[in-house]
Amino acid sequence: MKKFLVILILAVLGFHLFEAFSGLGLGVTRFEKGVKDYYLEKTVSELHVANTVTSIVVNFRGFDTLGEVTVLFLAVSAMGGILYKRRHQTGDRSVLFSSSSIVRSGSKLLFPAIILLGVYVFIHGHLSPGGGFQGGAIIATGFLLMLIAYENFSVSHNTLSYIESFAGIFFVGIGLLGFMNGGTFLQNFLPAGVLNNLFSGGVIGIIYVMVGFKVAAELTGLIYTILHEKD
């Protein structure tokens, strides 16, 4: 009975949603001079950042990104509090798979490559697809691989929280520097450089690297916290 009611409600909801979106058309230009065109123009002419998504994420809507890394920071802290046990047994970690030697040596081989890929992705965030979030997440997958393969592989919790805090402080600090240089929060105060060079985009590249460190530390910490949980 309840299921029918739910399906009925969902059908009505879906109909209205479909109504709202089906009239849009797919792949058509909807606005003559929309926000999009402004971003595409300014990212080449002022910011000198090749990847428009990066310039939006870090500069035009950089405040969102600051909020977002805070959300991740909060999520890690919240998980630490939620999974806290009074009698703290450390050392034993739940083992996902009892990994074979192939997995072990394979992970050992892949780990540096994955880290390198992650670092490459977030350093080139303003030139090619990718950036801080993607690179950080890739690095976290590398650590995840090691955590799964080796039961006694451990990451120092303090190191993670140092990296996280310093990256966060740098992010807000760069924002405040822009503010103190007579501009606004997160304003670009370094020379913009030449489009498509590694050193272009002023603070955007620096901020995205910081975001990369922060996201990598946070995601690794998140997985580490939940993996350490054992009944």
Partner 1 sequence: MIYLILIFFLLILMLSAAVYAVVQKDLLYAVIATGVISLVLTAVFYMLQAPDVALTEAAIGVALTTIIFLITIRNTKRHEDDYNKKDNLKSPLK
Partner 2 sequence: MDDKLFEILEYGVYGASILLILIGLYAVLTKRSLIKIVIGMSIIDGGIHLLLITIGYLKGGTAPIFSPGYEEAAAQMVDPVPQALVLTAIVIGFGVTAVALSLIIRLYRHHHTLEIDEIKRLKW
Partner 3 sequence: MVGSPVLLIAIPLLAAFVIPLIGMIWKELVRIIPGLVLAYMLILSATLLYYVSYNGTIVETIAGWQAPWGINLVFSPLTGFLATLMSALGFLVWLFSYRFKRNVDFEPAKKYFIFLMLLIAGAIGIVITGDIFNQFVFIEITGISAYALTAFYTGRNSAEASFKYLMMGAMASSFLLVAIAILYSQLGTLNMADIASKMHTMNPTYKIIALIFFITGIGIEAEIFPLNGWAPDAYTEAPGPVGAAFAGIVVKAGVYAIIRMIFTLFDVPGAYDFLIAIGLITLIVAETSALRQEKLKRMLAYSSIGQMGLVIVAFGIGTHEGVFAALFLMLNHAVIKPLLFFSGSSLVFNSKKKQIAEMNGLGKRMPLMAAFFSLGAFAIVGLPPFAGFWSKLSVLSAAANEGLLLIIVLILIVSVIEIVYYFRVVNRIFFQEYSKEQSVVPHRPRINAMVAMFVLAIAILIIGFYPDAVTGILHNAAKDLMNTDQYINNVLQLGQSLTR
Cα 150 to the chain's mean position, in Å?
26
- Residue 186 makes contact with partner 3 by CB under 8 A: yes
Per-residue tokens: 227: 């993996």
Contact residue for partner 2 among 107, 141, 220, 225 (CB under 8 A): 225
**Residue 20 CB-density burial (10 A; 0-12 exposed, 13-18 middle, 19+ buried):** exposed
* Min separation Cβ 114 and partner 2, Å: 19
Question: DSSP letter at 1?
Answer: -
CA nearest 110: which of 100, 122, 121, 102? 102
- Residue 7 makes contact with partner 2 by CB under 8 A: yes
- Residue 115 makes contact with partner 1 by CB under 8 A: no
**Which of the listed partners (partner 2, partner 3, partner 1, none) does 113 bind, with a CB threshold of 5 to 8 Å by partner kind?**
none
- Residue 140 makes contact with partner 2 by CB under 8 A: no
Q: How many residues does the chain have?
A: 231
Cα 71 to the chain's mean position, in Å?
11
For 81, other C-beta atoms within 10 Å of its C-beta total 7
Task: Output 71 or 96, the one with its CB closest to partner 1.
Answer: 96
Name 94's Cβ contacts closer than 8 Å, sequence gap at least 6.
227, 228, 229, 230
Contact residue for partner 2 among 47, 56, 121, 209 (CB under 8 A): 56
Question: DSSP letter at 33?
Answer: T
Question: DSSP letter at 86?
Answer: S
Site for partner 3 in 88-147 (CB under 8 A): none
CA atoms of 149 and 223, how far apart (whole Å): 14
Instruction: Give me the amino acid identity at 189.
Output: F
CA nearest 131: which of 47, 229, 65? 65
Binding mask 138-177 for partner 1 (x = CB under 8 A): x-xx--x---------------------------------
> Contacts with partner 3: how many residues (CB under 8 A)?
58
- Residue 18 makes contact with partner 3 by CB under 8 A: no
Cα 54 to the chain's mean position, in Å?
12
Instruction: Give me the amino acid identity at 199.
Output: F
Q: What is the contact surface with partner 1 in residues (CB under 8 A)? A: 51, 53-54, 94, 96-97, 121, 129-131, 133-134, 137-138, 140-141, 144, 219, 222-223, 226-227, 229-231
Q: What is the contact surface with partner 2 in residues (CB under 8 A)? A: 2-3, 6-7, 10, 13-14, 17-18, 21-22, 24-29, 34-37, 39-41, 43-44, 50-53, 56-57, 61, 64-65, 68, 71-72, 74-75, 78-79, 82-83, 128-129, 133, 195-196, 215, 222, 225-226, 229, 231
Q: What is the contact surface with partner 3 in residues (CB under 8 A)? A: 16-17, 19-21, 23-24, 30-31, 34-36, 38-39, 42, 59-64, 66-68, 70-71, 73-75, 77-78, 80-82, 84-86, 158, 161-162, 164-166, 168-169, 172-173, 175-176, 178-179, 182-188
